[in-house]
Every structure is written in structure tokens, then in C-alpha cells.
Amino acid sequence: MGLPEYQTVMGIVNSKLDELGKISGISLLRSASMQVLSVGISLEKLKQGTKH
């Protein structure tokens, strides 16, 4: 395998890894934001509970 072919293969692999990274990054962000939301909701419930 020559150098140009190697660089082409590595470019394809890197772009696939970037796509995977974006997808997993998005899903990580989504799950993190869901956790933050659920924590916020439970904190609101605690605040309302202590008022009564």
C-alpha cells in the first residue's frame, strides 16, 4: 500500500470517527440535559414541599 492510499484510508477512518464522535457527543449531551432537568424538577418539588 502506497502513501496516498494510506492517507485516503486514514481520511475515511477519521471522518467516520468524527461522525461517531458527534453522534455519541450529541447523545451524551442529551442524556446530561435530561439528568439536569430531572434534578431541577426534583429540587422544585423539594422547595414546594418545604413551603407547606
CA distances from 40 to 24, 35, 52 (A): 24, 9, 19
More confident residue, 51 or 22: 22
Q: What's the pTM? A: 0.50
Mean model confidence pLDDT for the chain? 89
The pLDDT assigned to 37 comes to 92
Read off the pLDDT of each residue in 9-16 and give the average, rounded to a whole number: 92
